[in-house]
Every structure is written in C-alpha cells, then in structure tokens.
Chains A and B, each alone.
Chain A
Amino acid sequence: MIRWLRWLLLLLIVRPIARFLTGADVTGREHLPLKGPAIVAANHNSHMDTLLLLSIFPSGAVMRVRPAAAADYFLKDPVIGWFSRNMIGIVPVARDKVASGEDVLAPAREALAAGDIIVVFPEGTRGDATDEMARLKSGVARLAEAFPEAPVTPVWIQGAGRVLPKGEVIPVPMNCAVLVGAPLHWHGRRTEFMDGLRDALLKLKAQAPPLRWS
C-alpha cells in the first residue's frame, strides 16, 4: 500500500515538480542503472539533487531507487522522518555516530543486498552552489567493496544549488544539467577507486554548460 503510494507520489508529483523547477536536462541517460544492486554517486549542492535524481529514472526502476541521507537531519522530526523513510525512500546514514564505531553503512548494505539502487552523495553534505567539489568521503568505496558486482554510476548535477541553495526556502526555476557517466567497478583498492570516481565526476563537470552564478 505505502509502496504504491510512494510510486504514485514519485511519478505524479515529484517528477512534474522536479521538471518544472529544473528542466531536468539529462545527457547519458543510457548509463543509468535499471536494477540493483547498483550505486549512483552524485555531487551535492541542494535538496533538489535528490528530487531531480528520483525524477530521471524510468517508472519501472524508480521503486528501487533509495537516496542515502543523513539520519541526524532527516529523521529528527517524526513527520518529516516518516515522509523521508516511506515516500522519498531514504536509507539513513547516522553521520553523528561515525566516531562511536557503530556501523553506519549497515542500512545501505541491507538495501543493496535486497537489490536496491542506492544514491549516495560522497561529498557528505551540500556545497555552496559555486560548482566546486568537496573532498569525497570513502563510504561509497566501502559499499562498492562489499558489493563488487554493483556498478557505481557517476552523476554530475549542474545548477541545482541555484534552484534551492542551502539555507533558502523558496525554490526558483532554473535549468539543471544532469550528466550521467559510464559506470565504474570495484577493483580491489580503496584509494584507486576514490581517485577514479573523483576523475569521472570532474570529467562530467567539464562537459556541463558554463555556470554563470556568483
């Protein structure tokens, strides 16, 4: 029941809103994974990133797409928490519990084991919309290591930080380019994998239209 509600919400509400606000100008759509386990790694400047990524998957695959999101941010409030879990379909990552030695990636691994497509933002938090990429956190490498058969698809989202920058409440329609790159695979070394992901993202960024935003 709730699953169908999510499906309807994503297709009938999230998708039109995301298209209206961003234009969803996708290139390389053929690289998107259609079944799990798979990992999508994108840069992060805005809450729009999540809505935009949810809106570009075909209706047959969108049920499998699960954005990884900060538990300390999205699960604080019970109403937002319920909505984030059941409608957006987030996989919680307890950023604040990393130091305590708890396995914060356990929910993400469970989802991958169940055949889901996990969306991760390796920068860890939203940047400031001037399209600089922050240092990438290695959680994505640990997930790729645990599921070496899962392709890791790099995605560069250009301009979402203009639609809804960090700290703003009112979204303003602006075109966003979404560049999907060829999937990467785990080859056994963490630093090598992270360098490869970083290069792939920067290469996609170089193909994006110029962003005249200051």
Chain B
Amino acid sequence: MNGGDRVLDIITRFLSAQPPALLWGLAGVGGVLALGAVIAGLLTVTRPGKDYTELRQRIFSWVVMIGLLAAALLAGWQATVLLFMVVSFIALREFLSLAPTRREDRLIILAAYLAIPVNYAFVALDIYGIYLVLIPVYAFLITPYLMAVIGQTRGYLSSVAMFHWGLMTCIYNIGYVAFLMRTSDADLPAGAAGLVFFLLVATEFNDVAQYVWGKLLGRHKIMPKVSPNKTWEGFLGGWATTAALIWFAGPLFTPLEGLGLAIMALVLPVAGFAGDVTMSAIKRDIGVKDTSHLIPGHGGILDRIDSLTFTAPIYFHLLAYFALESF
C-alpha cells in the first residue's frame, strides 16, 4: 500500500466508525452552504452593481464556524469541550467589555474568567451533580462576597447582577452544549455528537427561518422597542418551520419520541426567539448594534450564540427528563 492509499484507508476507517446520521447531517449542512455560495456567486454575476461583500463574508464565516464545529464533533468530546470553553471565554470577554465595569472590579473580572476552566472541568470529569449547582449557586454567592471583601459597595447590586448575567449565559448555559457530549452513545441514534449537532442545527435554522419569514411576509411588529425588525409573521413562521424540522428530523439524531419530541418541537423555537430578543435588549441598553467584529458579516460571538444561551439548557433538560438515563 502506498502513502496515499494508507491515508485514504485511515480516513475511511475513521468515518465508518462515526454514526451515519451525523455524517449525512454534516454533509447536508455542507450542501446547503455550497448552494448558498453558488447563489451568492450567481447574484454577483446576474445582478452586478450591488455590494455583496457582506453576503460573501457571511457565507465564508459560516464555512469557518461549521468547519470548526464539525472537526470538533468528529474528534470527540475532548475537542468539543475545548471548543466550547473557547466560545465561553470569547463570549464572556465580549460581554464584560460592553457592560459597565470599574477599575476596582478588575479582580472580580479575573475571577469570572477563572470560573470557565472550573466549570468545564466538571464537564470533563462528567460530574453532573456539581456542574448543576457550581455557577447558579456557588459562583452566585462567591461573586458578591468577593466584592464585599474588596470593600466595593458603590452600585453594588447592579454590578453583582451584571456579573451573574455574564456567568450564567456565557459559561453555564453554553457549557450544557459540551455536557451533551458526555452522554453514553449506547441508546442514541447518532451518538452524543448527534445530539450537539441537532441542537445547533435547530437553533440556527430557527434564527434563519424567522428572518426569512419576516422578510417574506413581515407586517406586524412584535417588539418594536427592542427589535424593530422582528415581526409576528417571522416569529410564527419560524416557530412552525422549526417545529416541523424537530418533529421530523429529531428522531434521526435524538432518542426523543411522542410527547417529549412534541414538547421539544414546541418549546425550542420559542426559547431561541427569547434568547435573541433578550440579547437585543442588552445591546440596546449598552448602545451597540453588534457585540464586536470578530465574525465577518455576523458581528460578535454573542450575536451568533444569543439564541443558543436559551436553547442549550432547555434542550438538555428536556432530553434528560424524557430520554437520557444517565442524568
């Protein structure tokens, strides 16, 4: 066997060890992306004169994000935990940089970053009981205590609330995505990676479906004070489309069926919408449109994962209640 064949052989053996539904799913997402790139390419040729830079950037950024995610999912739970640890860090850095902070808070900011490795350590150790309470109870208590210790009482409550919000959304809720990887593959149709894959597909699909329905039919504003571009038509259309996706494709990637699947289909799209709108309210309060320019064409990482901070915990808890023995 020559070198090329051997590499091919290793790749084939690696891929055949992966759940087929996951591979087909990833291939499907790749196909949709390729189609988008072709359409964007055609637009530039058939309708020149308009600036398509942002569309191009958007698609290229999707390629990078999906590439990173697919690589991590195929590489296993260690890589996925590491990836979401980095996501948590960048998200928290973005959040703390936009939120009002003071020079005397620097120690607390450092402590908030330290919560990231501690939180993900319990994902890596697979100790669910501690993970559950670490940030919601103990980081919740330690943060105000630390502030009291350094004698910082000016604007105490609002400062503490700001740190709590950052810890919960950026670290705890996003950590659930990584924790999905610790479920045993035995009774899962597409492995633990399939669970993560489907959560991300459903969440992002919901964002896109709401946007598309809103563009097509949008008339009645749903929250003009927070998100002037969001409409009832977009919300309801996205809800119905995503619910259908979850109902029909859910059984391919998750062990859900019947009532559990129905509840997931109804709840997840609403959670995604809620996450999006809540982050918009925060951005409006701070006075920015995007949380940074990290992802060309998309904005910051918080702009991309706003829905996920709401969908990840509800997805995990519904799965745990209805289908997963280990939690």
Contact = CB atoms under 8 A, between A and B. Distances in A.
A213 B102 CA distance: 5
Interface string B287-316: 110001110000000000000000000000
B97 A174 contact: yes
A23 B97 CA distance: 10
B94 A175 contact: yes
A129 B103 CA distance: 9
B186 interface: no
Nearest to B287: A210
Interface in A163-185: 165, 168, 170, 172-175
Contacts of A209: 98, 288
Contact of A214 (B102, B109, B110, B292): B102
Interface residues of A, number: 19
Interface string B76-102: 000000000000011001101111111
A23 B94 contact: yes
B225 interface: no
B103 A23 contact: no
Contacts of B101: 162, 174, 212-213
A36 interface: no
Interface residues of B, number: 22
Interface string B98-132: 11111100100110010000000000000000000
A23 B110 contact: no
A107 B129 CA distance: 63
B97 A175 contact: yes
A154 to B, nearest CB: 19
Contacts of B99: 212
Given A23-B93, A159-B97, A210-B288, A174 B102 contact: no
Nearest to B99: A212
Contact of B293 (A25, A129, A162, A168): A25
A212 B96 CA distance: 10
A214 B287 contact: no
Given A174-B97, A175-B93, A23 B292 contact: yes
6 contacts: A168-B106, A175-B98, A175-B292, A212-B98, A213-B103, A214-B102
The 4 A-B pairs at the shortest CB distance, nearest first, are namely A212-B100, A175-B97, A174-B97, A25-B292
